[in-house]
Amino acid sequence: MKILITTLNAKYIHTSLALRWIYVANKNKYNIRFQEFTIKEKLDEIAEIIIEQEIDVLGIGVYIWNVSKVKLLVDILKEKKPNIKIILGGPEVSYETEYFIKNWDIDYIVSGEAEFVFGELLDDIINNRVIDNIYIAHKDNFNAKPAVASIEKLEKLDSPYMLECDKGALQNRITYFETSRGCPYTCKYCLSSLEGNVRYFSNEYIIKQLEYLFSHNTKTIKFLDRTFNLNKNHTLFIFDKIKSLYNEKTICQFEIYADLLNEKTISYINEFQKDFIRFEIGIQSTYDKTNKEVNRLQDFNKIKENVILLQKAGVVDLHLDLIAGLPYETYDRFKKSFNDVFELKPKELQLGFLKMLRGTSLREQSEIYGYLYDLEGPYEIYKHNDLSEEDIENIKCVEDMLEKYWNSGRFIRTFELLTSYFEDENRTIDYFDLFYKLGQFYKRIDIDKFQYHLHEIYKIMYDFVLNIIDEREFDIYKKALFEDYYSQFNMRPKRFIEPTLNGKEKKEFINRIILDEKFMNLNNLTSIILYKYTYYEKINEHSYLLIIYIENKRQIIEYSFK
């Protein structure tokens, strides 16, 4: 019997640890292989590739990002090859198995941690036995209990991190790594709240895997632990280990609860090499009433304090998360959450929208809060009692601008000026309004939301700044925008506004610089460089920028007339 396990990852760079675990747990006993696709690939082509392999059983990992696509894939496969047995697994299908068994054309669902139960099911299928397993749902048993795999047994398997087939890809893709399973918290909107007790992998096991991953120059190790810093000893043990393995190539990402950090740990982290670790900190809301309602216990003041301590050292890359649409959070209260968090100026602020995940208690209680949401995955909300559809539209507009203009990191100098301009206490506009206004401005321009060019988004920002800033202050923004834009390239790009000097002015300017020997020598300039390889931008009568692109390198120099 030929078995294939697969999933549709969100992007090629992502890898599925779950598939690898199931594979190593079953490869010595069954004729099994695994293959990953992405949600961007055409379903017909994926189906074709699967069918060509003439398999008997197909296992598919279902997640929030692929649930709608997997449904379509299952339909295509069952139409073209009705005899294929399809087994679903993954968090998306684990907690409402009855719905999927009744509504999807599938045969089985393995609920929870599937490594060993999947093999038990294969055994039953091969031997034509009646399936009588509490962790497996099927047409005669709609409900299954989520399985919990023994960590001890997992550690005895071949390592899912050391597969020969992955060796070449470690340097290019994200490797997901777990040092524990489970979450002790019960945030009402999160599926991990159903996972229960935290179980840790042994230190010896973790050391062996990390040594392998670092010695193979793995690009990114993303620790999957739900709240990585829950246990202080465990946290320090991992930090010690990765610090000792530092290789200049590998980056480690962790999801942490920032208010659980103490000063001692922060000082320790702040001695790490720069850009070696990245923290993702879920804040979700700064409104106590909302956090209490969704069982999220956190102290925003403490988070803020710790984030500031981390930022001061500038060693850790910080990404903060917010969720729009949580209970009781009105539009204005969400604006406050946004402003509270944006004030910390994280490198990235991820603004997500609440999803009513199957199995979560928030979904079960959705009527209490008046939630209206998409019944098909990814179950995004449309509104609730305190947030209208229009409010959500407006927040989406802010999120779009946040992604393009802040999280992209392409407007660092411009934002430094813009935010300090709006931090002036005499102005009434806040950060949220700034992104909202930019979004309104953006909407007026006829530009493709997804396939835009860089010069177009810079032009929009240029016009926007011109529109809102006092004209007398515009020069410094102009300079910042030019520097932000030109530093994105190593070759001469298309200009985002008309040239600021005409041909005659440019010639006069070059002649003037050539006479300034001190400037020419200091910057190693020659007249060939000035004529052939340089862009000129006039900031004002006294100040100019020279942007030089030679041999895939860029240099931006300011020239000022006294």
Summarize as ranges the residues that interact with ligand SF4 (CB under 6 A): 183, 185, 187, 190, 192-193, 226-227, 282
Helix pair 389-401, 431-444: axis angle to 10 deg: 90
* CB closer to ligand SF4 out of 94 and 227: 227
Q: Are 257 and 300 in contact (CB under 8 A)?
A: no
Long-range contacts of 406-410 (CB under 8 A, 24+ apart): 406/348, 406/349, 406/435, 407/348, 407/349, 407/350, 409/347, 410/454, 410/457, 410/484, 410/488
Continuous H helices in 194-262? 203-215, 232-245
Q: Is 111 helix (H, G, I), strand (E, B) or coil?
A: coil
In the complex, least distance from residue 526 CB atom to ligand SF4, rounded to whole angstroms: 58
* CB closer to ligand SF4 out of 185 and 382: 185
Rounded to an integer, what distance in angstroms lies between the CA atom of residue 560 and that of residue 541?
9
Rounded to an integer, what distance in angstroms lies between the CA atom of residue 112 and that of residue 181?
12
Length of the chain: 562
* CB closer to ligand SF4 out of 184 and 474: 184
Q: Are 189 and 352 in contact (CB under 8 A)?
A: no
Tell me which DSSP letter residue 405 carries.
Answer: I
In the complex, least distance from residue 57 CB atom to ligand SF4, rounded to whole angstroms: 31
* CB closer to ligand SF4 out of 190 and 381: 190
In the complex, least distance from residue 532 CB atom to ligand SF4, rounded to whole angstroms: 56
In the complex, least distance from residue 196 CB atom to ligand SF4, rounded to whole angstroms: 11
Element (H, E) at 256: strand 251-256
* CB closer to ligand SF4 out of 226 and 234: 226
Considering just the CA atoms, what is the radius of gyration of the chain in Å? 27
* CB closer to ligand SF4 out of 228 and 371: 228
Rounded to an integer, what distance in angstroms lies between the CA atom of residue 359 and that of residue 366?
12
In the complex, least distance from residue 354 CB atom to ligand SF4, rounded to whole angstroms: 12
In the block, tokens 């340089």 appear at 534
In the complex, least distance from residue 297 CB atom to ligand SF4, rounded to whole angstroms: 9
Rounded to an integer, what distance in angstroms lies between the CA atom of residue 333 and that of residue 321?
16
In the complex, least distance from residue 233 CB atom to ligand SF4, rounded to whole angstroms: 19
Residue 265 dihedral angles phi and psi, to the nearest 5°: -65, -40
Q: Is 113 helix (H, G, I), strand (E, B) or coil?
A: coil
* CB closer to ligand SF4 out of 43 and 260: 260
What string of DSSP letters covers 153-193?
A: HHHTSPPTTS-GGGGGGTTTSEEEE-SEE--S---TT-GGG
* CB closer to ligand SF4 out of 155 and 196: 196
In the complex, least distance from residue 224 CB atom to ligand SF4, rounded to whole angstroms: 10
Rounded to an integer, what distance in angstroms lies between the CA atom of residue 136 and that of residue 138?
7
In the complex, least distance from residue 325 CB atom to ligand SF4, rounded to whole angstroms: 15
* CB closer to ligand SF4 out of 183 and 525: 183
Rounded to an integer, what distance in angstroms lies between the CA atom of residue 525 and that of residue 523?
5
* CB closer to ligand SF4 out of 97 and 180: 180
In the complex, least distance from residue 182 CB atom to ligand SF4, rounded to whole angstroms: 9
- Can you name the residues that pair with 136 across neighbouring β-strands? 110
In the complex, least distance from residue 226 CB atom to ligand SF4, rounded to whole angstroms: 4
* CB closer to ligand SF4 out of 73 and 326: 326
- Can you name the residues that pair with 86 across neighbouring β-strands? 58
* CB closer to ligand SF4 out of 185 and 272: 185
Nearest C-alpha neighbor of 66 from the set 95, 94, 38, 47 = 38
Q: Are 273 and 229 in contact (CB under 8 A)?
A: no
In the complex, least distance from residue 223 CB atom to ligand SF4, rounded to whole angstroms: 13
